[in-house]
């Protein structure tokens, strides 16, 4: 693949992630997906090999973006409470709800395998080390925090009850 091809592939990944966050990938065929991102089905197949390859690459890219955001969010935090608050602010921000919905759709689909296989396991494995460093605790602490935060975000997306989710987060923080 040429340098120009790599650049175009990178541009497509950005557009594909934006589209996926807004609309999901589960029920989308290549033709409408290609049209939505300014490409053709043939070019998507050229760059990603198959729809399954495309789905895997969008998920890999989405995890890379999440890990950069996680690192940026935690970078200047001085203690565990500040780190958890910064993370909760980012995760619960309505501006991120589309990408968070895409995350949970992908997470659930990965439990069945197929093109999504490995997404959930990789996202847990990749988030635990930075959380453990930020919390200054054990792997068990990081696991508990990750599960609790994801559960709270899922609840927030399902109900829209910001006040209750924020109160539950504060209760979690008090136990840490």
Q: Rounded to two decimals, what is the model's pTM?
A: 0.83
Question: Token pair for residue 106?
Answer: 């992908």
Residue pLDDT, tens place only, 144-153: 999 999 999 9
Please check the confidence at residue 5 and state whether its pLDDT lies above 90. no
Rg (alpha carbons) of the chain, rounded to whole number: 18
Arithmetic mean of pLDDT, 119-138: 90
What is the model's pLDDT at position 138? 80
Domain count, the chain: 1
pLDDT exceeding 90 applies to what percent of the chain?
55
SS3 readout for the chain? CCHHHHHHHHHHHHHHHHHHHHHCCCCCCHHHHHHHCCCCHHHHHHHHCCHHHHHHHHHHHHHHHHHHHHHHHHCCCCCHHHHHHHHHHHHHCHHHHHHHHHHHHHHHHHCCCHHHCCHHHHHHHHHHHHHHHHHCCCHHHHHHHHHHHHHHHHHHHHHCCHHHHHHHHHHHHHHC
Residue pLDDT, tens place only, 60-86: 898 888 888 888 888 888 888 999 999
User: Which residues touch 145 (CB under 8 Å, ≥6 apart)?
Assistant: 84, 131, 135, 172, 176
What is the model's pLDDT at position 45? 93
User: Which residues touch 90 (CB under 8 Å, ≥6 apart)?
Assistant: 69, 73, 96
Range of the domain at 11: 3-175
Q: What is the mean pLDDT of the chain?
A: 90
Question: Token pair for residue 54?
Answer: 């495309």
Looking up residue 147, the CATH number of its domain turns out to be 1.10.357.10
Q: CA 45, CA 54: separation in Å to the nearest integer?
A: 8
Arithmetic mean of pLDDT, 125-142: 89
Output the CA torsion sign for 83, 85, 86, 92. positive
Please check the confidence at residue 11 and state whether its pLDDT lies above 90. yes
């Amino acid at each position: 693949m040429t340098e120009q091809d790599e650049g175009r592939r990178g541009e497509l990944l950005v557009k594909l992630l934006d589209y996926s966050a807004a609309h999901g990938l589960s029920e989308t065929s290549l033709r409408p997906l290609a049209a939505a991102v300014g490409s053709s089905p043939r070019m998507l197949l050229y760059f990603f090999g198959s729809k399954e390859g495309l789905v895997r690459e969008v998920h890999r890219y989405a995890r890379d973006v999440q890990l950069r955001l996680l690192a940026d969010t935690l970078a200047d935090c001085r203690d565990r409470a500040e780190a958890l608050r910064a993370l909760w602010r980012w995760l619960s921000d309505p501006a991120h709800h589309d990408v968070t919905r895409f995350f949970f759709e992908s997470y659930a689909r990965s439990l069945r395998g197929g093109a999504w296989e490995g997404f959930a396991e990789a996202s847990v494995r990749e988030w635990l080390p930075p959380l453990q460093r930020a919390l200054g605790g054990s792997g068990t602490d990081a696991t508990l925090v990750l599960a609790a935060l994801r559960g709270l975000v899922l609840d927030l997306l399902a109900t829209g009850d910001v006040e209750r989710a924020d109160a539950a987060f504060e209760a979690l923080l008090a136990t840490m």
